[in-house]
Amino acid sequence: MTAAKRARLSVDWYLSRLEGVRTSGNGWTAKCPAHVDGRNSLSIGVGQEGRVLLHCFAGCRYEDICAAIGL
C-alpha distances out from residue 48 to 40, 62, 70, Å = 24, 17, 23
Which pTM does this prediction carry?
0.83
DSSP H helical ranges for 2-70: 3-16, 62-68
Helix, strand, coil content of the chain in percent (nearest 5): 35, 30, 35
What residues are paired with 29 via a beta bridge?
22, 43
Pairing, β 52-56 against β 27-31: unpaired
pLDDT at 48: 81
Rounded distance between C-alpha atoms, residue 29 and residue 71, angstroms:
19
Digit-coded pLDDT (tens) for 16-54: 999 999 999 989 999 999 999 899 999 999 988 788 999
pLDDT at 37: 87
Rounded distance between C-alpha atoms, residue 71 and residue 61, angstroms:
13
pLDDT at 9: 57
